[in-house]
Chains A and B, each alone.
Chain A
Amino acid sequence: MSLKWWRGPREEPSAATAGPASPAGPSGSGATAPEPADAQDTQDTQDTQQDGTGTHDTHSAEVVTAEQGVGFAELPTEAPRTGPLSPLPAPLLTGLPTGLPGMRADGGLLRGRWIAAASLTGTSHLLHGTSGQDVYRYTATHDGSGLVLVVCDGLGSRPATAQTGAGLLASYLCEAAAHITGQRMAEVPQDVLREVLATGNAAVRRHRAAVLEPLTDSDLAATVAVCWLPLPAEGEGEDEGVARHALTGHAVRVGDCNVFTLARGRYEAPFPAASEGPANVVTAYLPCEDPARVAEYAPVALAGVDAVVVTTDGLAIDLFDSPSVRTWLASRWSVPCGPARMLDSLRYRRQGSHDDRTALITWSAPLDHIPRLEP
């Protein structure tokens, strides 16, 4: 007799906790086990389905636990739920050797700046047992002139290999970016960041040729955003340092990863808006033959900015298209976050939002001004 990990067959949540799916509503009836946060909130979901516009918060006190029959327990969240939502089946983990962990998070100081990051595998992957494909990395330049934040998003059309490409690209870009000097950034920032992209791109291609044959560039395809932010020089006061760098960061990207600034709850996006038309036409990625041709550069104005956020498209789209997500995240990110808070900030549910979510943030407040946070 084989050992069971589950106590008997999976059960639908009881009417008292979740209620049956409405046959006429978008909930459908094929879910084998809802995610806990959904289960406790089905009545609310049905409410939003009726008007199709609702946004509301969950109530932590009502969160379903394993003992109530959904099969697994999860921590409560106050993350919002927006639009008519379908119940989610139980997540399927990938057995792929190249698969990424489903969630990653960080929070801490680097060169006196607080950095927090979180990456969650999207439900589109969790429903099909495929790997998330987002990767983040951060570094400080060797000369201490700046922080470098990098996010990469492997292309979904290469489910077995693109996360490997994203990981390699992020690592090689950070390695190249660590050699950036403040002097060159002050003179030719666009050229410097394009050189970083070219160096990282070439390194991935060399790695592929040496170790990963017969994979092609497109097997490792990933979109990317790289953001350099100035740090005050050693011995230099915060105000002097900020003035010296003219309050400007610099970013470069390939594809639809993005950079945002947050100032008193208001977002700005340095890169230009996508033109009107279909959303799924993404043709730029790395590695490729000519990274200079597909790279976009944007200065990042830092005057008055509280935080800089670098994201993959799964989160960027939600920031652009959902006022409730913007409000929620601005609230959560109004102070420097620890890793658990960062993860929780990405636990919102939004209609049609099933891609991986990754955010890498640094706050402008220097060390002295950062409050101590309990988890």
Chain B
Amino acid sequence: MSQFSQSERPAVFPVCLLIDVSGSMSGGPMAAMNTALPAMQRAILDDPTTGEIARVSVVTFSDTAACVLPLSDMAHARMPTLSPQGGTDFAEGFRVGREALVDGIGALGRGARYHRPVVFFLSDGQHNSSQSWKSGFDRLRSKEDKYGAEVVSFGFGQANRDVIAQVSTRHAFFAEDMDPAVAVKEILHTVLMSIKTTSGSFQAGGAAGLTIPESTGLTPLPVFTN
């Protein structure tokens, strides 16, 4: 097959927001989420180096998981309104998150150029399903898989710090002693800044990759990579 594409195929940066919408997110945190997502969309579009390449999907999880926004160009997307429900099953979230990336990247077409996907995982609770989340997480982040993603995790509220650290590939954060609604706002701001700086770094020369700007409100957690 020729190395030269016969159609225009700009490289894209696949991003998945994997958001806990269990019952504990009711009230302020969910309202903050629904305010922050459209603002994030506008901010992405305001930066040409981000808006022209970032493709964002939104996957929610509680007892079940759903892709509420397939991998999309923010110029043409309508951000979903999220609502809380049920318990917390990380495994379902990881499974559907990976499906969203595989389907979205696959839809770009054969030979499409893309950067390594990044999943931003947000949770205020603890996994309370009988099925283990570990195999689903390993599949999501697998470096041997061409769809394998970096996972950046954010915990707040009743989330378990150790588990939040485990569901990340390199970067995990916890919002300490913070009102949950404020924590959601701070986390999504950090996610936005990461999307922007990472997009910019892809276009500034080789070996670019995921970067997470410092946040005053979030505490980095020690991550043990393997």
Contacts A281-B116, A322-B5; is A127 near B10 (CB within 8 Å)?
Answer: no
Task: With CB as the reference atom, state the residue of chain A lying closest to B210.
Answer: A280
CB-CB under 8 A from A252, the residues of chain B are none
Q: What B residues does A82 contact at CB under 8 A?
A: 8
Of the candidates B47, B49, B113, B209, which one forms a contact with A317 in the assembled complex, judged by CB atoms under 8 Å apart? B113
Q: How far is the CA of A85 from the CA of B53 in the complex (A)?
A: 10
Chain A residues bordering chain B, tally (CB within 8 A): 69
Residues of B within 8 A of A29 (CB): 42, 46
The answer to the question of A373 belonging to the interface, with a C-beta cut-off of 8 Å to chain B, is no
Q: Is the Cβ of B114 less than 8 Å from the Cβ of A157?
A: no
Q: Are B10 and A86 in contact (CB under 8 A)?
A: no
Cα–Cα distance between A155 and B207 once the two chains are bound (Å): 6
| Nearest chain B CB to A358 CB, angstrom units | 11
Of the residues B10, B111, B113, B117, contact of A83 by C-beta under 8 Å: B10
B51 contacts across to A, CB distance below 8 A: 26, 28, 86
Give chain A's interface residues, CB within 8 Å of chain B: 24-31, 49, 53, 55, 82-89, 122-125, 127-128, 130, 133-134, 153-157, 159, 162, 221, 223, 255-256, 267, 269, 273, 276-283, 285, 312-314, 317, 319-324, 326, 350-356
Q: Which residues of B contact A155 (CB under 8 A)?
A: 205-208
Task: Check B225 for interface membership: any CB of A closer than 8 A.
Answer: no
CB distance from A149 to the nearest CB of B (A): 19
| Shortest distance between the CB of A92 and any CB in chain B (Å) | 13
Return chain A residues, CB-CB under 8 Å to B43: 30
B137 → A minimal CB distance (Å): 19
Q: Which of B42, B47, B203 has the most CB of A within 10 A?
A: B203
Whether A127 and B49, one on each chain, are in contact in the complex, defined by CB atoms closer than 8 angstroms, is yes
Known: A26-B73, A30-B46. A280 touches B204 (CB 8 A): no
Q: B70 near A: Cβ within 8 Å?
A: no
What separation, in Å, do the CA atoms of A102 and B161 have in the docked complex?
Answer: 46
- Given the complex, which residues of A lie within 8 Å of B12, measured CB to CB? 352
Q: Looking at B6, B47, B51, B209, which has the most chain A CB atoms within 10 Å of its CB?
A: B51
Q: Give Cα distance in the complex from A221 to B6, angstroms.
A: 33
Q: Number of B interface residues, CB 8 Å?
A: 41
Closest to A25 in B: B75
Nearest A residue to B202 via CB reads A280
Tell whether, in the assembled complex, residue B116 and residue A280 are in contact, meaning their CB atoms are under 8 Å apart.
yes
Given contacts A55-B8, A317-B113, contact A130 B49 (CB under 8 A): no
Alpha-carbon distance between A15 and B6 when the two chains are bound, in angstroms: 36
Contacts of B174-226 to chain A: CB distance below 8 A: 200-209
* A276 and B10 within 8 A (CB): no
Contacts of A352 in B (CB 8 A): 10-12, 52-53, 203
Question: A334 to chain B: closest CB distance in Å?
Answer: 18
Q: In the complex, are the beta carbons of B208 and A157 less than 8 A apart?
A: yes
- The residue in chain A whose Cβ has the minimal distance to the Cβ of B53 is A352
Partner of A156 from the list B47, B48, B146, B206 (CB cut-off 8 Å) is: B206
Q: By the criterion CB–CB under 8 Å, are A26 and B204 in contact?
A: no
Besides A283-B207, A324-B8, A352-B12, 13 new A-B residue pairs in contact (Cβ under 8 A), listed by A number: A83-B52, A88-B48, A124-B200, A153-B206, A157-B208, A256-B206, A278-B114, A278-B116, A280-B116, A280-B208, A314-B203, A323-B8, A352-B52
Bound-state CA distance A60–B63 (Å) is: 59
Report B38-69 residues with CB < 8 Å from chain A CB.
42-43, 45-49, 51-53
Also in contact, A326 and B4, with CB within 8 A (given A26-B75, A321-B113): yes
Q: Which residue among A25, A86, A273 has the maximum number of chain B CB atoms within 10 Å of its CB?
A: A86
Query: Once the chains bind, are B204 and A122 in contact (CB under 8 Å)?
Result: yes
CB–CB A26/B208 < 8 A: no
Nearest-Cβ distance from residue B224 to partner chain A, whole angstroms: 22
- Do B11 and A279 touch across chains, with their CB atoms under 8 A apart? yes
> What is the predominant secondary structure among interface residues of chain A facing chain B?
loop
Task: Write the nearest CB–CB distance from A257 to chain B, whole angstroms.
Answer: 9
Please state if A26 and B74 are interface contacts (CB–CB under 8 Å): yes
Q: Residue A128 contacts which of B8, B117, B200, B208 (CB distance < 8 angstroms)? A: B200
CB within 8 Å: A-B pair count: 169
Hey, what's the 0/1 contact readout for B1-30 against A, CB within 8 Å counting as 1? 101111111111000000000000000000
Give min CB distance, B58 to chain A, whole Å.
19
Cα distance A89–B200 in the bound complex, in angstroms: 14
Question: Which 10 A-B pairs rank lowest in CB-CB distance, beginning with the nearest?
Answer: A156-B204, A30-B46, A26-B75, A156-B205, A86-B48, A352-B10, A282-B206, A278-B116, A28-B45, A354-B203
Given contacts A276-B111, A351-B10, contact A323 B5 (CB under 8 A): yes
Given contacts A84-B75, A280-B202, are A156 and B208 in contact (CB under 8 A)? Answer: yes
Is there a chain A Cβ closer than 8 Å to B115's Cβ? yes
A-B contact pairs, 14 of them (CB 8 A): A30-B46, A157-B205, A280-B209, A282-B208, A283-B207, A285-B207, A314-B205, A321-B10, A321-B113, A323-B8, A352-B53, A352-B203, A354-B48, A356-B204
**Pair B113/A279 contact, Cβ less than 8 Å:** yes
Smallest Cβ-Cβ distance to A54: which chain B residue:
B8
Contact, CB under 8 Å: A223 / B206: yes
Distance between Cα atoms of A124 and B115 in the complex (Å):
16
Q: Is the CB of B45 within 8 A of A317?
A: no
* Chain A residues positioned under 8 Å from B202 (CB to CB): 279-280
Which chain A residues border B4 with CB–CB below 8 Å?
267, 269, 319-320, 323, 326
**What A residues does B73 contact at CB under 8 A?**
26, 84
